[in-house]
Homo-oligomer: A and B are copies of this chain.
Amino acid sequence: MGNIAAAVQAWRELLPPGAVNSEDAVLDRYARSTQDRGTRPCCILFPDNATEVQAIVRIAVAQGVTVYPISRGKNWGYGDACAPTEGASIMDLSRMNRILEVNTELAYAVIEPGVTQGQLYGYLEERNTGLMMDCTGAGLTASLVGNTLDRGFGHTRYDDHFLTTCGMEVVLADGRILNTGFGHYPDAKATWVYRYGVGPFLDGLFCQSNLGIVTRIGLWLMPKPETATFFYVTVDRDEELAPLVDRLRPLRINGTLQTAVHIGNDLRMLSSKGRYPWQLTSGKTPLPEDVRARLRHEGGLGAWNAGGALIGTDGQVRAGRKALKSALSGLGKLKFVSDNKLAWAERVAPMLRRMGLGARLEEQIKSLIPIYGLLKGVPTDEPLLGAQWRLRHPPEGPGDPLDSGCGLMWVSPVLPMTGRAATEVMRIAGPIFPRHGFEPLVTFTMINERAMIGILNVAFDKAESEETARAVQCYDALFDALMTAGYIPYRVGPRAMSKLTQGSKVFWDLARQIKQVLDPHNVIAPGRYISKDLA
């Protein structure tokens, strides 16, 4: 286990006052998790720069201890700020929150891991850069770097965050600093605009792994489009999920739909704007079908609800609308919402309500606005509401899921972008939820031109120990059933990391071999995706 006391002593001598914290109250905070349980660290380190990160890992090596780096720790549904193991030294990079450069000509930013979605958004807006970023539903305080390293995804044309990252600075376990791409050439001109550099492309090593500590990335931004029109398609019947996917796919593959398209079921849409209807159900779970039907109707929702954006010039958006209408002809209800239309509806809805009309319109607008913002790169805490679905005593507003005892575990299989695959995933996963007393909250996101990521939410109330126990069983059952059927997750939380080697060998052996050469003392984030020992 090494000499943790000596390491903490050395870290205290190295870092300024307050940058090493092992107060009980603080450790308790970091031990909180949206998983069934978190792990309690032994201290929290707050380096201010890469030089301090280097010194910290050198001390860790010397003392035989480990460090678990986090950016902001907002890894909702996948383990939050918790290390996989108890008693870790958390390296919290939140003080490294500098926006080092924003280049408006070439549309990129260079940022540190502590930079949050809200911070970069504010920076771009205040300076009228005309640029927008892609953001996720993880809220204002989530780290952009952290999400990228977990290969998270958002809602716009740059939905694949790793794909739109260019150039990394990485502190290795022996304290060396690696610059990837062209960044290791001192005067390279294309460091932040061309990802591969020359020779092997190494950036992929540092995502979903424990092979280094990323202290800086280049992040590509988008010019705000001349026009953006949100589209929204609902289908009333579950059986229409398959044709919905199959009709949208050609538009994604041929580049008409350039952004992520999210397809959520009624339950997932309901959970994004409200909590479980404890009163309507008299406390019964899972949600009875008649209540579900009623809420779906009142919310103006379909069984499945797809949304995305058309962007570009007026002419491009017009052409996109036409292609979309033609592709979806005869299937579901297609609506377009533009900035003008939304502003109009916001004005009209209260008038209609006063006349006793349009309650559904108002509901629809309320649920649309945050999603609409995400499509335009505006971060919001609203989607975090979804984590509160099962809370008996929810707070006002979304807030921090950890403050309100939200339980949340995501199972996130990747599937080919076909109606068949979506149907099969629902056939497998659908019955598992009610069997454990839950209801399926599901989104399928068209993340690239050919694949979808399903996000299956196991949302529970951590104040309820029996529900929490069932949530774990539900998660395991979902995970195992989908994995067995070939729907492998794109990302996992701590419960599932050890399951990833099932049925595979060479890939994970190789990952471990690389770990052994880059981090022979297993200093960085042991157990995060890659375990040390060969099978």
**A residues near B, CB below 8 A?**
105-108, 151, 157, 162, 172, 176-180, 182, 184-190, 192-194, 196-209, 211, 220, 222-223, 225, 249-250, 253-256, 258, 311-316, 318-320, 322-323, 414-418, 421, 447-451, 483-492, 500, 503-511, 513-514, 516-518, 529-530
Contact (Cβ within 8 A) B418 A106 = yes
Docked Cα-Cα span, A504 to B75, in Å, equals 35
Please pick, from B176, B178, B253, the residue contacting A107 in the complex, using a CB distance under 8 A.
Answer: B253
A219 to chain B, nearest CB (A): 12
Contact (Cβ within 8 A) B313 A316 = no
With A198-B208, A450-B108, A491-B198: A414-B162 Cβ-Cβ less than 8 Å: no
- Closest B residue to A317 by beta carbon equals B319
User: Which residues in B have their C-beta under 8 angstroms from that of A416?
Assistant: 106, 189-190, 193
With A202-B205, A256-B312: A450-B486 Cβ-Cβ less than 8 Å: no
Contact (Cβ within 8 A) B151 A196 = yes
Contact (Cβ within 8 A) B506 A176 = yes
A502 to chain B, nearest CB (A): 8
User: Which residues in B have their C-beta under 8 angstroms from that of A513?
Assistant: 517-518
Docked Cα-Cα span, A49 to B489, in Å, equals 31
With A417-B106, A513-B517: A254-B222 Cβ-Cβ less than 8 Å: yes
User: Which residues in B have their C-beta under 8 angstroms from that of A185?
Assistant: 483, 486, 488, 503-504
- Closest B residue to A204 by beta carbon equals B201
Please pick, from B108, B199, B315, B505, the residue contacting A322 in the complex, using a CB distance under 8 A.
Answer: B315
Contact (Cβ within 8 A) B323 A179 = no
A131 to chain B, nearest CB (A): 10
User: Which residues in B have their C-beta under 8 angstroms from that of A190?
Assistant: 414-416, 451, 487-488
User: Which residues in B have their C-beta under 8 angstroms from that of A176?
Assistant: 506, 509-510
A330 to chain B, nearest CB (A): 19
User: Which residues in B have their C-beta under 8 angstroms from that of A319?
Assistant: 312-316, 318-319
Contact (Cβ within 8 A) B254 A180 = no
User: Which residues in B have their C-beta under 8 angstroms from that of A505?
Assistant: 184
A1 to chain B, nearest CB (A): 26
**Could you list 13 A-B pairs, sorted by A, with CB under 8 Å?**
A151-B201, A178-B506, A180-B507, A184-B507, A185-B503, A187-B484, A190-B416, A194-B414, A196-B207, A197-B488, A199-B530, A315-B318, A315-B322
A258 to chain B, nearest CB (A): 6
User: Which residues in B have their C-beta under 8 angstroms from that of A315?
Assistant: 315, 318-319, 322-323
Please pick, from B188, B314, B483, B485, the residue contacting A488 in the complex, using a CB distance under 8 A.
Answer: B188
Please pick, from B211, B312, B510, the residue contacting A254 in the complex, using a CB distance under 8 A.
Answer: B312
With A198-B500, A204-B201: A486-B105 Cβ-Cβ less than 8 Å: no
User: Which residues in B have their C-beta under 8 angstroms from that of A448?
Assistant: 193-194
Contact (Cβ within 8 A) B184 A490 = no
A206 to chain B, nearest CB (A): 8
With A108-B450, A315-B323: A205-B200 Cβ-Cβ less than 8 Å: yes
Contact (Cβ within 8 A) B256 A313 = yes
With A209-B200, A316-B320: A193-B506 Cβ-Cβ less than 8 Å: no
Docked Cα-Cα span, A491 to B197, in Å, equals 9
User: Which residues in B have their C-beta under 8 angstroms from that of A178?
Assistant: 506-507, 510
Contact (Cβ within 8 A) A201 B162 = yes
User: Which residues in B have their C-beta under 8 angstroms from that of A489?
Assistant: 198
Contact (Cβ within 8 A) A204 B207 = no
Docked Cα-Cα span, A222 to B187, in Å, equals 37
Docked Cα-Cα span, A485 to B182, in Å, equals 13
With A255-B311, A418-B106: A488-B198 Cβ-Cβ less than 8 Å: yes
With A490-B194, A514-B514: A208-B204 Cβ-Cβ less than 8 Å: no
A378 to chain B, nearest CB (A): 18
User: Which residues in B have their C-beta under 8 angstroms from that of A313?
Assistant: 256, 319, 322-323
- Closest B residue to A517 by beta carbon equals B517
A428 to chain B, nearest CB (A): 12
Contact (Cβ within 8 A) B311 A220 = no
Docked Cα-Cα span, A212 to B483, in Å, equals 28
Docked Cα-Cα span, A379 to B490, in Å, equals 36
Docked Cα-Cα span, A211 to B484, in Å, equals 31
Pairs of residues from A and B, 9 with the lowest C-beta to C-beta distance, nearest first: A201-B204, A315-B319, A187-B486, A193-B450, A184-B507, A194-B451, A200-B209, A189-B486, A193-B451
A376 to chain B, nearest CB (A): 14
User: Which residues in B have their C-beta under 8 angstroms from that of A414?
Assistant: 182, 189-190, 193-194
User: Which residues in B have their C-beta under 8 angstroms from that of A256?
Assistant: 312-313, 316
- Report which residue of A172, A188, A190, A418 has the largest number of chain B beta carbons within 10 angstroms of its beta carbon: A190
User: Which residues in B have their C-beta under 8 angstroms from that of A225?
Assistant: 254
Please pick, from B194, B200, B206, B509, the residue contacting A511 in the complex, using a CB distance under 8 A.
Answer: B200
Contact (Cβ within 8 A) B208 A506 = no
- Closest B residue to A221 by beta carbon equals B253
